[in-house]
């Protein structure tokens, strides 16, 4: 009996490690950077400082947003969208013209940008889904086209600054500090009491919502006879991710509170996670990536699914553009360079398969954070930019090699 319990416990641990491999790797890399930064600076600088954790979130929100859209393209069979960086530049340029030059109401300008971004995605999707031009070629053409249009719109010059009302939509914090409650000292720094308490309450609500939604999702899958994790693995996963949320929440509580862009990112993650995991159209993406011909013979309109994936990518690129220009407080013709590479790398590092059909929104976001931690940690250490690119390239290659080797191993076992 004891041996059976021990075996079950070991199996649960293995399952948790396997399903959260990238999360544990991320934590390990962050700890390594903290030690290296502390050793180099005499512990005068830290990766795990509240202000730096906030900066990592703000600086990499656009990558996580783009990665959620890119994942949907990758799920359809390893397809990618090379145009997203240029779309970010164009939508940012148009936002600058609408808001700064023409003085449009902010809500109208934001709505127009989202519609135009979606229209650009639909333009790509039409040629990919219905004319059957390969996604690589279509989006490569889009990358060149929209970058050129963005430069024309801006006449090669940036537009700045944006009004405070717009910046507050993406660059403010919740809650605002309260002088009435005062401050207290925690871990050697002064913290606003009101910000600290409210942020921790919101963190607790987020954990509760996450746990409840996961339980409901698991019950629905069991009712539909889907394969699910063992109870032990499921509980362990909830505990691990809840701890991660608590750790992030206390860092934000000790700084300026919740960045509004993090709330936006949370809504996007929740919406797309639900869509991909719990809706029929979302499962079609996985079906096409697994076997497009079989999906088509089963009655799935593969053309419509491909059209949706790329139309959605245009919408997501528009959202990322609005976030980017707020962070930079300017619309620039050079904005968005290499954003597509960051988004693609985030998906693959986060567990998406290079062949499609495998991957999660959560994994893509973890991959985006991993890329951000690499950038942030190496920048604090003063690593040359060229070496930073080399390291990120090696990490991406290692992630894809791991995916390919895993698939070969599974195939050999089946044979």
The reported pLDDT for the residue numbered 314 is 97
Number of other residues whose CB lies within 10 A of the CB of residue 237? 18
- Residue of 84, 181, 98, 61 whose CA lies nearest to 142: 84
The CA-based angle 58-60-66, given to 5 degrees, is 125
The reported pLDDT for the residue numbered 285 is 94
Number of other residues whose CB lies within 10 A of the CB of residue 334? 12
Number of other residues whose CB lies within 10 A of the CB of residue 154? 22
User: Rounded to an integer, what distance in angstroms lies between the CA atom of residue 196 and that of residue 214?
Assistant: 27
User: Rounded to an integer, what distance in angstroms lies between the CA atom of residue 16 and that of residue 18?
Assistant: 5
User: Rounded to an integer, what distance in angstroms lies between the CA atom of residue 297 and that of residue 253?
Assistant: 52
Q: Is the dihedral of CA 62, 68, 69, 73 positive or negative?
A: positive
The reported pLDDT for the residue numbered 325 is 96
User: Rounded to an integer, what distance in angstroms lies between the CA atom of residue 357 and that of residue 39?
Assistant: 43
The reported pLDDT for the residue numbered 393 is 87
Do residues 272 and 68 make contact, with C-beta atoms less than 8 angstroms apart? yes
Residue with tokens 């319990």: 5
Tell me the sheet residues that pair with 159.
331
The reported pLDDT for the residue numbered 52 is 92
User: Rounded to an integer, what distance in angstroms lies between the CA atom of residue 274 and that of residue 260?
Assistant: 21
Q: Rounded to two decimals, what is the model's pTM?
A: 0.91
- Residue of 277, 350, 285 whose CA lies nearest to 26: 350
The reported pLDDT for the residue numbered 5 is 59
User: Rounded to an integer, what distance in angstroms lies between the CA atom of residue 323 and that of residue 58?
Assistant: 9
- Residue of 51, 53, 100, 116 whose CA lies nearest to 326: 100
pLDDT along the chain (415 residues), means of 10: 61 66 84 90 86 92 95 94 96 96 95 97 96 96 96 93 93 81 75 90 93 88 80 84 91 92 94 90 92 90 96 97 95 92 91 87 91 90 88 84 73 62
The reported pLDDT for the residue numbered 413 is 65
The reported pLDDT for the residue numbered 353 is 86
Q: Is the dihedral of CA 257, 330, 86, 26 positive or negative?
A: negative
The reported pLDDT for the residue numbered 9 is 62
């Amino acid at each position: 009996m004891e041996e059976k319990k021990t075996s079950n416990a070991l199996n649960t641990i293995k399952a948790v490690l396997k399903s959260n491999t990238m999360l544990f790797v991320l934590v390990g890399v962050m700890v390594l950077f903290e030690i290296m930064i502390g050793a180099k600076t005499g512990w005068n600088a830290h990766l795990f400082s509240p202000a730096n954790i906030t900066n990592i979130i703000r600086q990499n929100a656009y990558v996580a947003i783009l990665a959620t859209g890119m994942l949907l393209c990758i799920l359809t069979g390893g397809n990618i969208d090379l145009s997203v960086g240029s779309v970010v530049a164009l939508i940012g340029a148009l936002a600058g013209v609408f808001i700064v030059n023409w003085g449009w109401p902010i809500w109208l300008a934001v709505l127009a940008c989202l519609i135009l971004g979606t229209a650009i995605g639909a333009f790509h999707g039409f040629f990919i889904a219905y004319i059957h031009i390969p996604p690589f070629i279509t989006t490569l053409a889009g990358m060149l086209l929209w970058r050129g249009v963005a430069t024309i719109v801006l006449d090669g010059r940036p537009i700045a600054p944006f009004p405070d009302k717009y910046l507050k939509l993406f660059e403010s914090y919740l809650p605002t500090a309260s002088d009435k409650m005062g401050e207290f000292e925690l871990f050697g720094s002064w913290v606003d009491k009101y910000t600290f308490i409210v942020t921790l309450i919101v963190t607790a609500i987020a954990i509760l919502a996450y746990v409840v939604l996961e339980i409901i999702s698991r019950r629905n899958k069991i009712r539909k006879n889907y394969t699910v994790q063992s109870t032990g693995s499921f509980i362990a996963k909830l505990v691990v991710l809840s701890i991660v949320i608590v750790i992030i929440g206390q860092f934000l509580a000790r700084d300026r509170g919740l960045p509004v862009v993090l709330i936006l990112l949370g809504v996007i993650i929740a919406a797309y996670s639900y869509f991909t995991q719990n809706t029929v159209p979302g499962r079609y993406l996985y079906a096409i990536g697994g076997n497009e011909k079989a999906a088509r013979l089963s009655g799935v309109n593969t053309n419509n699914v491909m059209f949706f994936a790329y139309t959605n990518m245009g919408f997501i690129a528009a959202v990322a553009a609005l976030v980017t220009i707020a962070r930079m407080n300017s619309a620039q013709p050079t904005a968005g360079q290499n954003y597509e590479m960051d988004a693609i790398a985030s998906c693959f590092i986060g567990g998406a398969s290079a062949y499609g059909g495998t991957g999660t929104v959560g994994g893509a976001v973890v991959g985006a954070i991993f890329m951000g931690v690499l950038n942030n940690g190496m920048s604090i250490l003063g690593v040359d930019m060229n070496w930073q690119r080399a390291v990120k390239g090696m990490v991406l290659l290692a992630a894809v090699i791991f995916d390919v080797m895993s698939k070969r191993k599974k195939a050999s076992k089946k044979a």
